[in-house]
């Protein structure tokens, strides 16, 4: 059994987005209810969030942008752009989301916990340094990575993003550094329009952004093949000191936006692979952060699968079942080959591929 923590707080539900918005409080509420109903709370350690300070937010975001979010306090629904909405207490939830990410990193890096899942909202991976985007206010994963760099002196951080959408904000924030390796699988072309294969980083960061753009209808075994053949060898060569996961559940087959065919079992297996990488490189230090996912049933089942995997392990027979599942292997094999061709000059693990 692993010592697994969760960041959880009812104030995250106070970020209201209106009745017709996809990113609703019910997304998170259904996960919280599942944890209580299934008895997972008995084996998970609660990590109380705190408010991020202005100085901490300024590690990633500009002062003017932070002030813009603070200025929404007490206001009814305000559309900052066609997708991103604030309400009276959005600023509070956003400050707590970032602060919850910091506390999760702290608990894992100090050895209090083996791993943690920050079950927070608003989500973050689309947020740029100076603007909101795609339901996201502050970039929680990028902030967690920068916090780990500055507070614990880390210089090798792996970010894995399996959300349906490309993490444009996270990529742009770290694309010039080799201290943060970003690996993303995402639907393409799709919102936000970034994440092509040839986006591999800039200057000394070249090779440390790895994008795997996918057409629709990819299933568990497709993601398994991609992670096994691209992420795993690169990550073991990179040897991260902590692994961060932007965990969106909108590639689930029940998601109303996604158009993918992943299941909760696939998320369990991806989690298992990520945790195996962490075990081999950084004593299992891994922090998951909630991103997208817009079907309540899919959110509930997927979060349960990931939390159970984090706190124990998935059965061997499930691993075998997922490996045997069929998929569009010809297309996935082609994407894998193209990605490896682009990044192999930067990674010795592909010298003989």
For residue 125, indicate whether it is catalytic.
Answer: no
β-bridge pairing 157-161 and 242-247? parallel
Please say whether the dihedral angle defined by the alpha carbons of residues 283, 146, 143 and 235, taken in this order, is positive or negative. Answer: negative
Give the DSSP letter of residue 211: E
Half-sphere exposure of 176 (CA within 13 A, CB side): 2
Judge contact between 180 and 145, C-beta under 8 A: yes
Give the DSSP letter of residue 136: B
In 10 A of CB 81, how many CB atoms?
11
- 165 vs 187: CA distance, rounded Å: 6
Catalytic residue among 126, 166, 186, 252: 126
Euclidean distance between the first and the last CA atom of the chain, given in angstroms as a whole number: 37
In 10 A of CB 336, how many CB atoms?
19
Active site residues: 126
């Amino acid at each position: 059994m692993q010592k697994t923590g969760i960041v959880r707080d009812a104030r995250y539900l106070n970020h209201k987005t209106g009745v017709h918005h996809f990113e609703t409080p019910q997304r998170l509420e259904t996960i919280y209810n599942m944890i209580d109903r299934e008895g997972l709370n008995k084996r998970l350690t609660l990590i109380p969030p705190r408010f991020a300070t202005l100085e901490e937010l300024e590690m990633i975001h500009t002062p003017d942008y932070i002030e813009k979010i603070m200025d929404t306090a007490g206001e009814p629904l305000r559309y900052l752009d066609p997708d991103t909405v604030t309400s009276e207490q959005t600023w509070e939830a956003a400050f707590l989301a970032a602060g919850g990410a910091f506390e999760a990193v702290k608990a894992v890096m100090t050895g209090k916990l083996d791993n943690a899942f920050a079950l927070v909202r608003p989500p973050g991976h689309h947020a740029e340094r100076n603007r909101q985007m795609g339901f996201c206010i502050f970039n929680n994963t990028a902030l967690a990575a920068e916090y780990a760099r500055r507070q614990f002196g880390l210089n090798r951080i792996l970010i894995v993003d399996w959300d349906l959408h490309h993490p444009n904000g996270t990529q742009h924030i770290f694309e010039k550094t080799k201290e943060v390796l970003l690996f993303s699988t995402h639907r393409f072309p799709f919102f936000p329009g970034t994440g092509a294969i040839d986006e591999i980083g800039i200057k000394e960061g070249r090779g440390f952004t790895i994008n795997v753009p996918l057409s629709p209808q990819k299933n568990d075994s497709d993601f398994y093949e991609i992670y096994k053949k691209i992420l795993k060898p690169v990550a073991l060569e990179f040897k991260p000191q902590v692994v961060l996961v932007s965990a969106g559940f909108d590639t689930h087959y029940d998601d109303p936006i996604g158009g993918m065919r992943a299941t909760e079992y696939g998320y369990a297996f991806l989690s298992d692979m990520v945790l195996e990488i962490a075990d081999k490189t950084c004593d299992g230090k891994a922090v998951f952060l909630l991103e997208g996912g817009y079907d309540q049933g899919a959110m509930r089942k997927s979060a349960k699968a990931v939390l159970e995997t984090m706190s124990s392990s998935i059965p061997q027979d499930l691993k075998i079942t997922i490996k045997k599942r069929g998929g569009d292997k010809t297309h996935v094999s082609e994407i894998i080959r193209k990605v490896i061709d682009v990044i192999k000059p930067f990674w010795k693990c592909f010298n003989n591929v």
